């Protein structure tokens, strides 16, 4: 009944809007001569002309910074798709993954486990796995600040001016080189007059979103503003083992901004944002019955049977950034972008989507980064371009246990708590010089040249351990076996019985990598047996899983107050 009522309310609202628009159009046309009407289509020539003019005006009004300077969308000679904030509101877009449905050659999906980790592909280039050792093929930028990791990169759309999608390599225009493309999330600048707005979305599956924003000038050229979003939705399905909702949403996000503009050619901005994601874990859907328990495939693809429920999922993160733009002289602008960001995500990932403890993975992702970018923008008649320098210092940690209790118990009682643990830390320090220039010989012909130099250093510490009973200390050890076998009083592995196996150091161009593998031995048995077992067991099982995203219907109710 609720869904039907919401759908009816939405239709009623749309009908009201259409009737209002029809009434206004009637009053305007009544003052002019009656236009000619095409009898075959029932559409007047004036209506067709008006639609063409609105489409042309829409293209002219969208100003993008794909080439790091303000340009009309229709004048940008690169593959770019832009969405204004008004377009996104009309479409009912909730986060940036929604624009993937209408953008060519772009796939934006929620990654496994949480609601806030992004898997992005442009023209088939992207990042499949969100662990620290994989580099992003698609760059995500928030107000020109590069997000080094995909965690908390699935940005909710609120208080946004526009979103730009750039396809293809962006090495000569952006500090961090990305081969697939870039997605730019641009927030609104504060107005010179006091403003306040409240927007609410009510939709199916108990969706209820509230976004509140306000800004005001407090002195000449000094403005402050804030925006708060509370985004909730019931699950599309349910976890039949734990009873929790599946594909739900419970997010609180906030942003605060201070802007200082003493003159037309000087602008300073300090902005901070933070996000808390308290959603339940996202469980996968099996495509084949269980080989061990013969559990059938569920009818609803949004339901799951995954039994892993620890650790409790917690996702939080944010950052602070500073931006300065100073006009040095006619046609030259110096721009500085400084940012620090930090986030952490911890939660359970049940890869086999079954109550049995097999390929159950508690995971931890912790990231922090500092970046500094300097740009000199040149706009001198037919010559336009920029030169820039970029620095990034980032640390990423990924830790997870692969619990294979069921498989271990089949091999023997001593393996009932078999766990494969991995803890990796990747440190990145990189700096780059880049430049791009365009000379317009005429309105139809221009020449662009660009280049970059990058120095990229990485250090990776990866430790892998095999626990026969008891998991890694990061996740508090292992749980009892689901097959009813007794849990040992203490882990069988002891510090004195450990052996270290060192792999040859691998060197990559412009990078440093160090990998160390530690294997815990068994009191009964040989160390070689444990090493062979760990090599034969897969670290992850990603088959038989499929996640889908079900769009929800929503109605937008908004109210804005503008004080002149």
Cα–Cα distance between 436 and 170 in angstroms, integer?
Answer: 10
* Residue closest to 350 by CA, chosen among 484, 241, 473: 241
- Bridge-based pairing of strands 446-467 and 514-519 is parallel
Q: Are 149 and 130 in contact (CB under 8 A)?
A: yes
Three-state DSSP at 485 gives coil
Cα–Cα distance between 156 and 233 in angstroms, integer?
Answer: 13
* Phi, psi at 199, each rounded to 5°: -130, 135
Cis peptide before 311 (omega within 30 of 0): yes
Cα–Cα distance between 203 and 365 in angstroms, integer?
Answer: 32
Q: What DSSP string runs through 408-433?
A: HHHH-GGGTB-EEEEEEEEEEEEEEE
Q: Give the C-alpha distances (Å, rounded to integers) separating 399 from 369, 378, 422.
A: 18, 45, 6
Cα–Cα distance between 330 and 481 in angstroms, integer?
Answer: 73
Please list, in sequence order, all residues whose beta carbon lies within 8 angstroms of the beta carbon of residue 408, skipping any fewer than 6 positions away. Answer: 415, 416, 417, 418, 468, 481
What letters, b where the CB count within 10 A reaches 16 and e where it falls short, cover 469-493?
Answer: bbbbebbebbbebbeebeeeeebbb
Stated as kind and residue range, the H or E segment containing 266 is: strand 266-277
Q: Are 375 and 386 in contact (CB under 8 A)?
A: yes
Q: In the chain, what's the furthest Cα-to-Cα distance? A: 98
Q: Give the C-alpha distances (Å, rounded to integers) separating 100 from 82, 120, 144.
A: 12, 9, 20
Cα–Cα distance between 138 and 175 in angstroms, integer?
Answer: 13
pLDDT in tens, the chain (564 residues): 332 333 333 333 333 333 333 333 333 333 333 444 444 444 444 443 444 444 444 444 677 777 777 777 777 777 888 898 888 888 888 889 999 888 999 999 888 778 888 999 999 998 878 888 788 889 999 999 999 999 988 888 888 999 999 998 888 888 898 889 999 999 999 999 999 999 998 999 999 999 999 999 999 999 999 999 999 999 999 999 999 999 999 999 999 999 999 998 999 999 999 999 999 999 989 999 988 888 999 999 999 999 998 899 999 999 999 999 999 988 899 999 999 999 999 999 999 999 989 999 999 999 999 999 999 999 998 999 999 999 999 999 999 999 998 888 888 888 888 899 999 999 999 999 999 999 999 888 989 999 999 999 999 999 999 888 778 888 887 444 333 333 333 333 333 333 333 333 343 343 333 333 333 333 333 333 333 333 333 344 333 344 445 544 544 444 444 444
Q: Which residue has the tokens 């749980």?
A: 479
CA-atom Rg of the chain in angstroms: 27
Stated as kind and residue range, the H or E segment containing 371 is: strand 358-380
Q: Is 278 exposed, middle or buried (0-12, 13-18, 19+ CB in 10 A)?
A: middle
Three-state DSSP at 400 gives strand
Cα–Cα distance between 86 and 99 in angstroms, integer?
Answer: 13
* Phi, psi at 70, each rounded to 5°: -70, 125
The alpha carbon of 551 is separated from its chain's Cα centroid by a whole number of angstroms, namely 17
* Residue closest to 428 by CA, chosen among 468, 396, 404: 396
Three-state DSSP at 512 gives strand
């Amino acid at each position: 009944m609720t869904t039907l009522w919401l759908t009816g309310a939405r239709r009623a609202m749309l009908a009201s809007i259409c009737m209002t628009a029809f009434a206004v159009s009637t009053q305007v046309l009544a003052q002019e001569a009656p236009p000619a009407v095409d009898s075959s289509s029932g559409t007047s020539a004036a209506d067709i002309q008006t639609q063409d003019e609105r489409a042309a005006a829409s293209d002219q009004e969208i100003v993008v910074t794909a080439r790091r300077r303000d340009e009309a969308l229709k004048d940008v000679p690169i593959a770019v798709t832009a969405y204004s904030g008004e377009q996104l509101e009309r479409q009912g877009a909730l986060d940036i993954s929604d624009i993937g449905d209408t953008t060519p050659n772009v796939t934006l999906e929620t990654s496994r486990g949480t609601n806030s980790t992004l898997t992005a592909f442009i023209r088939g280039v992207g990042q499949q796995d969100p662990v620290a050792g994989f580099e992003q093929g698609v760059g995500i930028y928030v107000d020109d600040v590069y997000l080094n990791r995909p965690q908390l990169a699935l940005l909710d759309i609120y208080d946004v001016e526009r979103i730009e999608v750039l396809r293809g390599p962006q090495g000569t225009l952006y500090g961090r080189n990305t081969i697939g493309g870039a997605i730019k999330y641009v927030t609104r600048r504060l107005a010179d007059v006091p403003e306040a707005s409240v927007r609410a979305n009510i939709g199916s599956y108990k969706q209820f979103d509230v976004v509140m924003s306000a800004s005001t000038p407090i002195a000449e050229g000094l403005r402050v503003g804030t925006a708060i979003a509370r985004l909730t939705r019931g699950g599309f399905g349910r976890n039949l083992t734990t009873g929790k909702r599946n594909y739900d949403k419970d997010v609180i996000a906030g942003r605060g901004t201070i802007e200082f503009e003493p003159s037309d050619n000087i602008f300073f901005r300090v902005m901070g944002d933070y996000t808390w994601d308290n959603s339940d874990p996202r469980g996968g859907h099996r495509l084949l019955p269980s080989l061990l328990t013969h559990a059938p495939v569920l009818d609803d693809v949004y339901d799951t049977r995954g039994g892993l429920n620890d650790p409790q999922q917690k996702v939080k993160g944010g950052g602070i950034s500073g931006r300065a733009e100073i006009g040095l002289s006619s046609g030259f602008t110096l721009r500085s972008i400084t940012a620090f960001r930090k986030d952490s995500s911890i939660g359970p990932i049940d890869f086999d989507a079954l109550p049995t403890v097999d390929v159950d993975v508690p995971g931890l992702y912790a990231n922090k980064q500092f970046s500094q970018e300097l740009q000199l923008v040149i706009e001198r008649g037919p010559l336009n371009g920029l030169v820039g320098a970029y620095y990034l210092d980032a640390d990423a940690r990924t830790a997870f246990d692969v619990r294979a209790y069921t498989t271990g118990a089949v091999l023997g009682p001593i393996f009932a708590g078999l766990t494969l643990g991995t803890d990796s830390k990747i440190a990145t320090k990189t700096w780059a010089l880049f430049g791009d220039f365009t000379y317009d010989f005429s309105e139809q012909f221009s020449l662009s040249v660009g280049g970059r130099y990058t120095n990229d250093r990485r250090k990776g510490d990866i430790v892998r351990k095999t626990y026969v009973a008891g998991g890694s200390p990061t996740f508090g050890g292992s749980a009892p076996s689901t097959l009813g076998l007794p849990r040992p009083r203490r882990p069988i592995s002891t510090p004195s019985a450990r052996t270290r196996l060192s792999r040859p150091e691998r060197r990559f161009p412009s990078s440093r990598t160090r990998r160390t593998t530690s294997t815990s031995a068994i009191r009964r048995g040989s160390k070689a047996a444990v090493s062979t077992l760990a090599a034969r067991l897969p670290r992850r099982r990603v088959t038989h899983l499929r996640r889908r995203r079900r769009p929800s219907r929503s109605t937008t109710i908004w109210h804005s107050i503008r004080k002149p």
